[in-house]
Amino acid sequence: MERQAGLCCLSLCLLLLFLSCDSTPKVKVRKQSKIEIPPFRFNADSAFLFIENQLAFGPRVPNSIGHKKCAQWIVRKLKSYGAKVTEQKADLMAYDGKVLKSVNIIASFNPKAKKRLFLCAHWDTRPIADQDNTNQDLPIPGANDGGSGVAILLEIARQLQKDSVEYGVDLIFFDAEDYGAPRSHPKAGTSDTWCLGSQYWSKHPHRAGYNPKYGILIDMVGAKGATFAMEGNSMSYAGSIMKRTWQIAHQLGHSQYFIYDKVAPIIDDHLFINQMANFPCIDIVHYDPMAKNSFGDYWHTHDDNIEVIDKQTLDAVGQTLMGVIKSEGLN
């Protein structure tokens, strides 16, 4: 995941604006009637354990042993929770000419239902620590960037097995999201070096005629004190879904995480899903305009380890997604 090319100046402007008058632009939300949210469960301890499980495989860099073993583990877990699992394998060309043996993993609940929504995250981790001051050539642990999104989706799968819904839910684990060109590389300005797995899926959905109502991407959703702002591409392509999701988060008591700050568009899987597949999709992503790189100081460094994870953040995001799923049939 990366800031969108050409928008660094905009980020800087937003930062300067914030520093000068302490007022980041806010998305205006009209007063909405309350959304009915049926009861649900989400266990943050379980999600935390799923991050530890992933870290035990080592970095999940495409073509590595850890990557292969982690894919097998994700598939096994999803099958054990009763999902219909599709492994979408593809050889994808990275910016440096390397062929990445990638696999998108799709877990379908209630696979025959026509009405569907999808939740997604990337499961691969970055092969380099290009934002770190040391050992930049070594891969990051990816506890938050990769690990947290997968963990929340797995916990949702575990809950859906016990507490099914009438329509279809697809949980999509994208590969090769984080193999993008570093900022020092000539191809750095090319947005499509990122999100290779979701680009492939957007051109070749796992099922012919797949036509979901909408999707929600989660990325870096477990860090202590994270804030999730209203990211520009999500607002452009699926603003009403974003506002509804934020409303559900607020009704569930998570207003400190889900803030109404309007922030610059970023390159993440949702961008290609919106542009290539034409499925409306928002991004819940840790975005901190005050951090030196907008995504938290751990981002693409060796500090992205279990120490940055907070169960309360996992809980806020997991509960919000369960609230979205459970309320979908009623509203």
Q: State the minimum distance, in angstroms, from the CB of residue 174 to Zn ion.
A: 12
CB atoms inside a 10 Å sphere around CB 106:
23
Site for Zn ion in 46-85 (CB under 5 A): none
The least CB distance from residue 1 to Zn ion, in Å, is 5
Residue closer to Zn ion by CB (options 168, 182) is: 182
Amino acid residing at 249: A
Q: Of 1 and 267, which has the nearer Cβ to Zn ion?
A: 1
Q: How far is the CB of 185 from Zn ion (least distance, A)?
A: 15
What distance in Å separates the CA atoms of residue 158 and residue 174, rounded to the nearest whole number?
19
Closer CB to Zn ion, 85 or 309, in the complex: 309
Q: Which is nearer to Zn ion, 170 or 178 (CB)?
A: 178
Using CB under 5 A as the binding rule, whether residue 268 contacts Zn ion is answered as no
- Give 307's DSSP letter: G
In the complex with Zn ion, the residue whose CB is nearer, 155 or 178, is 178
Of 85-93, 138-146, 235-243, 244-252, the window that binds Zn ion (rule: CB under 5 A) is: 138-146
Judged by CB under 5 A, which of 132, 145, 155, 288 binds Zn ion?
145
H-run or E-run covering 175: none
Q: How far is the CB of 153 from Zn ion (least distance, A)?
A: 17
The window from 14-22, 74-82, 139-147, 320-328 that contacts Zn ion (CB under 5 A) reads 139-147
Beta strands of the chain (E only): which ranges?
2-3, 84-93, 99-109, 116-122, 168-174, 214-219, 228-231, 258-263, 266-267, 281-285
Query: Please, are residues 291 and 297 in contact by the beta-carbon 8 Å criterion?
Result: yes
* Burial of residue 82 (number of CB atoms within 10 Å: 0-12, 13-18, 19+): middle
CB of 207 to Zn ion, least distance (A): 28
* Radius of gyration, CA atoms only, the chain: 18
Cβ atoms of 305 and 125 closer than 8 Å: no
Query: Is there a contact between 62 and 179 (Cβ–Cβ < 8 Å)?
Result: yes
Instruction: Select the span of 129-137, 140-148, 163-171, 269-277 touching Zn ion (CB under 5 A).
Output: 140-148
Q: CB nearer to Zn ion: give 125 or 319.
A: 125
Q: Which amino acid is at 309?
A: I
Interface pattern 200-239 for Zn ion (x via CB under 5 A): ----------------------------------------
Rounded distance, CA 270 to CA 201, Å? Answer: 11
Q: Which string of x and - marks every residue 147-186 that binds Zn ion (by CB under 5 A)?
A: -------------------------------x--------
Query: Could you say which residues in the range 1-40 bind Zn ion, by CB under 5 A?
Result: 1
In 3-state terms the chain splits into helix, strand, coil percentages (rounded to 5) of: 40, 20, 40
Kindly tell me which of 280 and 296 has the beta carbon lying closer to Zn ion: 296
Backbone angles phi, psi at 53, to 5 degrees: -60, -45
- Shorter beta-carbon distance to Zn ion: residue 159 or 193: 193
Judged by the rule CB under 5 A, the positions of this chain that interact with Zn ion are 1, 145, 178
